[in-house]
Amino acid sequence: MRLYQKCMMLLLVSVIILPLILANKAKASLEISAKSAILIDANSGRVLFAKDEHEKRRIASITKIMTAILAIESGKLNETVKVSDLAARAEGSRIYLEKGQEIKLEDLVYGLMLRSGNDSAVAIAEHVGGSLDGFIYMMNQKAEQIGMKNTLFQNPHGLDDHENHFSTAYDMAVLTKYALQNATYKKVAGTKNYRAKTMEGYWKNKNKLLTGLYEYSTGGKTGYTKLAKRTLVSTAEKDKSSLIAVTIDAPDDWNDHISMFNKAFSTYKTYSIMKKGYIKGVDKKIYQNKIFINRDISYLMTEEEKKNVVIKTSLLKPNKSWEKNQEKIPEIVGQMRVQLDGKTIAEVPVYYPNDRNTPPKVSFFDSFQSVFMQLTGGAKWSI
């Protein structure tokens, strides 16, 4: 009886305790010094790692990501900015602007992102927003528009001159994902060195990941104040995968970001799910070799996860009048939905060709080159 009890106890330990030990070991395999951190896929927004990502904290100079994207989106990069006394007197990191100096807005944006110029931030804000207060209103309006739900901007630079200037690691990842859709922003944030065109200045980017520490780094923004401590947003790309990392109050931020990037690149891969082009396997004659999607579908996932991808295509029921007059067929005749473990990860319209809307110029064969077509049983369809 005692032997039986001992065996049962060992079984209980193996069933209940061991998984907890393994889970803690797995959790400990990625040690992050930051009080708040997040790592996301830059394309889909999928969260790959998070630590207190919704906690409101001071963010220091990563604030300037918002300042930069608003300046770029203003369409005024070629305009000349006259430096005010307020801008020239800005404290902290500077590009040493002088009152009355006339500088191209483009130069100010590079000075803002590469050297973290607080004077540059004020000059940009006054020019783009009409006033400092006007620009701060723009910052918060944009934050609301793009889904930054726990953010309040009180200045364009991130200095500790307001009690309620804060954001979260998650919100800053949302902002960066949005900003990366702009080619000019991406270029500025990824520039290692820049020579100003309308003032004296040759600036090296403060982002050490970009300038030498990490080979896959593509850009980002550094930050530090006495109250916020070290903050950092960085981006990296490898093998068609693009990642965004954010840390707030991180004494070892360079290594935090390298650890997160390396862990993700070794665990996940961006797989092609469907190529743009014609949709195969449709039983309705009027749709056969006609309907198509106009963009590729890809997703960052693990080798195991790709086996659980399901592709569902829903189409409008053909109207009898369409057979006589195909001009009556709507431009969008359905939707392709891609699901992973029951969760929708992508949705794209299904088009019927007309004079305004033609299929992408890819071969029928190329349009179906996908890892999922090579799996046993192929992709799963519901049409």
**Among 9-13, 162-166, 287-291, which stretch is predicted with the lowest mean pLDDT?**
9-13
pTM comes to: 0.86
Long-range contacts made by residues 252-255, C-beta under 8 angstroms, separation at least 24? Answer: 252/33, 253/33, 253/34, 254/208, 254/209, 254/213, 255/33
104 is annotated as an active-site residue: no
Active site residue 272: no
Tell me: do 290 and 247 sit in the same domain: no
Beta bridge partners of 242: 237
Q: What is the pLDDT of residue 29?
A: 60
> Do the domain assignments include residue 62?
yes
**How does residue 22 score in pLDDT terms, banded at 50, 70 and 90?**
very low
Residues 168 and 210 in one domain: yes
Q: Residue 199 carries which DSSP code?
A: S
Domains in the chain, number? 2
C-alpha torsion angle, residues 277, 282, 288, 292 (rounded to 10): -20
Annotated catalytic residue within 36, 51, 61, 104: 61
Q: Is residue 21 part of a domain?
A: no
Question: Which residue of the set 36, 84, 116, 242 is catalytic?
Answer: 116
User: Do the beta carbons of residue 177 and residue 42 sit within 8 Å?
Assistant: yes
Q: Supply the pLDDT for residue 366.
A: 52
* Tokens linked to 373: 């077509």
**What kind and span of H or E run contains 338?**
strand 332-340
Structure tokens at 76: 């005024």
Residues 98 and 170 in one domain: yes
Catalytic residue among 64, 177, 275, 290: 64
Task: Render pLDDT for 341-354 as a digit per residue (tens, 0 to 9).
Answer: 999 999 999 999 98
pLDDT in tens, 246-280: 999 999 999 999 999 999 999 999 999 999 999 98
Q: Is 367 among the catalytic positions?
A: no
Domain containing 276 equals 271-374
Are 203 and 149 part of one and the same domain?
yes
Residues 328 and 182 in one domain: no
What residue type is 295 in one-letter code?
Answer: R
CATH value at residue 193: 3.40.710.10
Domain boundary among 267, 296, 328: 267
Pick from 233, 250, 267: which residue ends a domain? 267
Are 83 and 129 in the same domain?
yes
Residue 325, both tokens = 């007059």
Question: How far is the CA of 323 from the CAs of 24, 235, 313, 314, in angstroms?
Answer: 62, 51, 22, 20
Q: What is the pLDDT of residues 311-337, one digit of tens each?
A: 999 999 999 899 888 888 999 999 999
Any domain includes 277:
yes
Tell me the β-bridge partners of 66.
none
Q: What is the pLDDT of residue 364?
A: 47
Q: Is 221 annotated as a binding residue?
A: yes
Is residue 30 situated within a structural domain?
no
For residue 346, the domain's CATH number is 2.30.140.30
Co-location of 59 and 169 in the same domain: yes
Tens-digit pLDDT profile for residues 211-251? 999 999 999 999 999 999 999 999 999 999 999 999 999 99
Question: By C-alpha distance, which of 224, 306, 234, 322 is closest to 270?
Answer: 306
Q: Are residues 174 and 253 in the same domain?
A: yes
Last residue of a domain, one of 241, 267, 293: 267
Q: Is residue 22 part of a domain?
A: no
The Cα–Cα gap between 43 and 29 comes to: 26
69 plus 153 within the same structural domain: yes
